[in-house]
Structure 1
Amino acid sequence: MTIHNLSDTTSILNTFIAELRDVSIQKDAMRFRRNIERIGEILGYELSKSLNKKSSSVKTPLGVAETPLISEDIVLCSILRAGVPLHNGLLNYFDAAENAFISAYRQHKEDPESFDIVVEYLACPSLEDKTLILADPMLATGQSMLATFEALLPFGKPKSVHLVSVIGAQKGVDFVVDNFPENTNLWIAQIDSELNEKGYITPGLGDAGDLAFGQKLQH
């Protein structure tokens, strides 16, 4: 797997990450969603540089311009619900992409520190020989990302796989490196060093789904 950690280079991306983490700014849910969306746009732009292109002729009022355009068929898949703003940011740039959505959540056992990943809803087009972009803003343990990928396999074998996350823990990054196909690419805005005892990224930013859409009742 190739890891593209955008925080290796200082850019305006760092400002959006800092605002996502800031406990005073993240109280504004609309700004929180918009910052994730903007990070999705940046990650999508960087990802686009790696895709295959073909020359295309574009007729202008004064002649014909030869322009290299992306030639791959793209499917964007996000993990509900936290993945929606990130999905929107990617879709702003890959606006011709097909779309898939999946729900994957942690189902805790009697021990609050252990859990299973449960997939309950999935809508997906054919993935056969297409480019799959799998988006989840928080890459904590990596188990949700893997469970989602495995749930998508009956829909066809993608030509290539790109994972997109906003913040990850090193443990989660190591997990996807060990469990995804070798030709997978990970595009991530920032990597934190630790997971706490409950499997949450630290320093992280909290629960991205709750911050974007409001707290949920547990059942």
Structure 2
Amino acid sequence: MHIHHISQQNSILNTFISEIRNIDIQKDSMRFRRNIERIGEILAYEISKSLNFKTSSIKTPLGEASINVLENDIVLCSILRAGLPLHNGLLNYFDTAENAFISAYRHHKHNPESIEIIVEYLACPNLENKTLILADSMLATGQSMVATFEALKPFGTPKEVHLISAIGAQEGVKFVEKHFDDNVHLWIAAIDEKLNKKGYIIPGLGDAGDLAFGEKLQQ
């Protein structure tokens, strides 16, 4: 797998990462969502550099212009609910993309340190020979990303696959690297050192879904 750790090169991206981590700034849920969205936009721009383009002739009011335009058939798939702001950022740039959504959540069974990923709701177009961009705001254990990809297999075989996350842990990166093919690309804004015993990223930022949309009741 090809890993693109975007924040290793200084850019305005680092400002957005600092704000989603900041315990005072992240209290503003609207600002948190917007910062995740902006991170998605930057990652979309970085991905676009690796995609396929074709030359097109464009008629202007004063003549014609020849320009290279994107030719990939893109499907954006986000893991609910934390992936929604990231999805919006990607869709702002890949605005003609098709869209898929899937619910994947942690089930701790009887042991809070034992994690099982449950996949329930899934809506997806045909993926055959398309460019699949699979987005989840947090790449913690990596299990959600792998479980989601497995759930998408009945919808066809993508021509290429790109994984997207705002923040991940080394453990999660290693997990997806082990479970995805060598030609898959991971585009990630920041990679943190470790997970705690409950599988949360340290230092991370907390629960991205709760920060974006409010705390949820556990059942």
TM-score by length of 1: 0.99
Does the residue aligned with 1:128 lie in a helix, a strand or coil?
Answer: coil
Matched, 1:216 2:216: yes
Gaps of 5+ in 1: none
Is the partner of 2:106 in helix, strand or coil?
Answer: strand
* Structure 1 match to 2:129: 129
Secondary structure of 2:215's aligned partner: coil
Q: Which residue of 1 aligns with 2:146?
A: 146
Superimposed CA distance per residue, residues 31-87 of structure 1 (whole angstroms, 9 cap, x where no aligned partner): 000000000000000000100110001001111111101111000000000000000
Q: How does 1:23-102 map to 2 (within 5 A)?
A: 23-102=23-102
How far does residue 181 in structure 1 lie from its aligned partner after superposition? 1.6
**Structure 1 counterpart of 2:129, which letter?**
D
What amino acid maps onto 2:105 in structure 1?
Answer: Y
Structure 1 residue identity aligned to 2:101 = F
- Mapping of 1:177-216 within 5 angstroms? 177-216=177-216
Moved over 2 A (4+): none
1:182 positional shift: 1.4
* Superposed displacement of residue 202, structure 1: 0.2
What residue is the counterpart of 1:9 in the other structure?
Answer: 9
Read off the aligned partner of 1:90 and give its amino acid letter.
L
Q: How much is the aligned-residue C-alpha RMSD, in angstroms?
A: 0.5
Deviations 1:156-183 (A, max 9, x none): 0000000000000001001111101211
The structural deviation recorded for 1:109 is 1.5
Cα separation, 2, equivalents of 1:116 and 1:175: 15
Alpha-carbon deviation of 1:194? 0.7
Amino acid at match of 1:145: M
> Distance in 2 between the 1:181 and 1:122 partners?
23
Deviations 1:72-114 (A, max 9, x none): 1000000000000000000000000000000000011111000
Letter in 1 for 2:52: N
Alpha-carbon distance in 1 for matches of 2:181, 2:96: 26
CA distance in 1, matches of 2:70, 2:186: 19
Q: Counterparts of 1:71 and 1:182 in 2: how far apart (Å)?
A: 23
Distance in 1 separating the partners of 2:75 and 2:41? 16
Q: What SS class does the counterpart of residue 40 from structure 1 fall into?
A: helix
Q: Which amino acid aligns with 1:128?
A: E
State the percentage of identical aligned residues: 74
Helix, strand or coil: the match of 1:158? Answer: coil
Q: Deviations over 1:163-210 (max 9, x none)?
A: 000000001001111101211000000000110000000000000000
- CA distance in 2: counterparts of 1:192 and 1:204, whole angstroms: 7
Taking the aligned partners of 2:67 and 2:165, their CA distance within structure 1 comes to 30
